[in-house]
Structure 1
Amino acid sequence: MTARNRQRRAIILALLTVLAALLLGSARATAHTAEDEVLAGVGVDEHLGAAIPLDLPFTDQNGTAVRLGDYFTGQPVILTLNYYECPMLCPLQFRNLVATMNGISGLSLDRDFRIVTVSINPAEPPEIVRRKWSESHALLRGIADPANRWPFLSGRQPEIERLTRAVGFRYVKLGPANFAHPSVILLITPQGKVARYLYGMEIPPRDLKLALIEAAGGKIGGSSLINQLILSCYHYDPVGKKYVLAAVRIMNTAASAVGLLLGGLVLVLWRREKRRRPGGNG
């Protein structure tokens, strides 16, 4: 092979390498853009204090027509938005939610609050809804009426969109029975207003208990006084997305308690001294 042919071959190979690199970079850029579009469409726009539409009609796991407001009877509600044909994320979220509830002391799903799960897929097969409901409720302990305390609802696209828009829940349909959606549960007040968003696959029992107490305005469980004391010691950190001890509140609460004790002690000593003086009572 002559030097000229070798030079020509080297130039061709270089051009082919550059072309391959450009094509690979273009493919990666296209894939990255598509992925970015999906990620941009999935998330939560928090609408704290927003009223959810309680008049929305749905169908429960038994095929019974219900309204969302049927489950708001004076107790806070945990609202989850999932889909029942989800292969992994949603079943894991259900199992973790049950584990979290089992770790809460002083509150019971059977007495103090409800969970309502609504599917974001308007094409849910009824048999899948029933099967997923049965699988999830088999994990519950000591719930007398699981159908009423944790229903699995499905509905039409217009109703689903009204609910998800009201709470700021953004999701993307990737294909038939395949959705990308955030992992979040919503705490709803007994009046149907959004009180708190809790994020992640595993929510600490303490955070869920505090969110329930907060959503109920302290009117839940055995003692409203203890609930108010607990809420005074914790606050929700919007950056860390969890409840944290409020040092200033704890110090103020402790100072108030000490002040009350000292005031009571002074009053007792003053009355005792008054009785000892000549002309005092007793």
Structure 2
Amino acid sequence: MTPAFRLLLFGVLLQLPLLVAPAWGHSTADQVLGQIGVDEHPGASVPLQTGFRDPQGRPVRLADNFAGVPVVLSLNYYACPTLCPLVFRNLAATLAGLGDLKLGRDFRIVTLSINPQESAALAHDKATKTYAMLNEVREPARFWPFLMGNQREIEAVADSVGVRYLRQEGGDYAHPNVLVVLTPEGKVSRYLYGLEVRPRDLQLALVEAADGRIGSSQAANRLLLYCFHYDPVGKKYVLFASRLMSWVMLSVLALTGLLIALLWKQERGPRAPGPSKPTT
């Protein structure tokens, strides 16, 4: 082996860790991303008889939160330093833009920690801070509980809605930011993604899950569902332009017909009597 070849081989061996390390890191990242996400299960039933506990340690069944109205399910964890508190804050802000839909009367929210070792103190802290943002809701703990449970029950709920998450080495969890809207019977109706959900999307998802039977006007709900539809690609509700134009055209035709009928009636009405002929 010549000195020049030895020098070349030595240089390659020095660079080998730098070449391999990025590949290792990329593989690990791919593995993490491959294990978290959402496999949508529309129409699937959540296990309503699973038992959990609230921050005070009281036992709670998932079924206790279903009272004939839709339920918004969020899977988070209370030790999360940044993203989960942001989700709670944004969701509280979204509730203020739901029009006449009110938490408690028209729907409920259930937040379930995906960490089976969750701290009750942290759960209480997150709940208290979130309730402080719900100024117009009386007894918010009744309608938006922050629950904890053991691994089997947590996984049963997560699996039923298709949410995949991963506990990392440092104890944090990688999980998707998604709200699962459930029907009053506990079936999956819609998934809403992102750190912040638009009020219109949540409003439409709730109305859809309740089949229009919430809020102050079922007729207005039917009109909303007629004019908007869920875009499975963009993962949000969009205006159904063709239906809206059809409704506008029908309205214009109806008004035109009414105007013609009024003019025709006015034209056919009794005429004023003419001058009388003189008598002889």
After TM superposition, is the score higher than 0.5? Answer: yes
In structure 1, C-alpha distance between the alignment counterparts of 2:132 and 2:8, rounded to whole Å: 64
Contact 1:86 1:177 (8 Å CA) reproduced:
no
| CA apart distance, 1:8 | 5.9
Q: 2:236 aligned with 1:246, yes or no?
A: no
Find the aligned partners of 2:263 and 2:217 in 1 and give their Cα distance. Answer: 33
Distance (Å, rounded) in 1 between the aligned partners of 2:100 and 2:35: 39
Task: Name the SS of the counterpart of 1:132 in structure 2.
Answer: helix
Residue deviations 1:19-76 (CA, integer Å, cap 9, x gap) = 2332222222122111111110000011111111111111112211111111111111
Q: Deviations over 1:114-154 (max 9, x none)?
A: 11001111111222211221122122212111111110011
The answer as to 2:177 corresponding to 1:183 is yes
What CA distance in whole angstroms lies between the structure 2 residues aligned with 1:177 and 1:256?
A: 59
Within-5 A mapping of 1:218-233: 218-233=212-227
Q: In the alignment, residue 198 of structure 1 is paired with which amino acid?
A: L
Does 1:153 find its partner at 2:140?
Answer: no
Contact 1:41-1:171 at 8 Å conserved across structures: yes
Contact 1:47 / 1:194 at 8 angstroms: preserved in 2? yes
1:205 equivalent in structure 2: 199
Unaligned runs of 5+ in 1: 1-6, 278-282
For the aligned residue pairs, the C-alpha RMSD in angstroms reads: 2.1
1:274, distance to aligned residue in structure 2 (A):
6.7
- Checking the alignment, whether the CA contact within 8 Å between 1:85 and 1:177 is kept in structure 2 is no
In the other structure, the counterpart of 1:96 is: 90
* Amino acid across the alignment from 2:71: V
Identity %: 51
Q: Does residue 1:116 correspond to 2:110, yes or no? A: yes
| 1:197 Cα deviation after fit | 0.5
Count of residue pairs the alignment pairs up: 271
Q: In the alignment, residue 194 of structure 2 is paired with which amino acid?
A: G
1:164 to 2:158 alignment: yes
Aligned twin of 1:4: none
| Counterpart for residue 280 of structure 1 | none
In structure 1, the residue matched to 2:277 is none
Picking from 54, 62, 79, the partner of 1:60 is 54
The corresponding residue for 2:275 is none
Distance (whole Å) between structure 2 residues aligned to residue 173 and residue 262 of structure 1: 64
2:23 to 3, 21, 29: 29
Kept in 2: contact 1:50–1:166 (CA 8 A): yes
Q: Where does residue 3 of structure 1 map in the other structure?
A: none
SS in 2 for 1:250: helix
**2:278 equivalent in structure 1:** none
Tell me which amino acid in the other structure corresponds to 1:161: E
Alpha-carbon distance in structure 1 between the residues aligned to 2:120 and 2:252:
60
- Contact 1:109–1:143 at 8 Å: present in 2 too? yes
TM-score, length basis structure 2: 0.89
Q: Which TM-score applies when normalising by structure 1?
A: 0.89
Q: Which residue of 2 aligns with 1:260?
A: 254
Q: Which residue of 2 aligns with 1:141?
A: 135
Once residues 187 and 253 of structure 2 are traced to their aligned partners in structure 1, the CA distance between those partners, rounded to angstroms, is: 38
Structure 1 residue 219: deviation in Å? Answer: 1.6
In structure 2, the partner of 1:15 is 9
Structure 2: which 5+ runs fail to align? 272-280
Counterpart CA distance in 2 for 1:103 and 1:30 is 46
Which segment drifts farther, 78-87 or 27-36? 27-36
Which residue of the other structure, out of 121, 125, 129, is the alignment partner of 2:123?
129
Distance 1:127 1:204 in 2: 30
Contact 1:80 1:116 in 2 (8 A): yes
- SS of equivalent residue, structure 1 residue 70: helix
SS in 2 for 1:175: coil
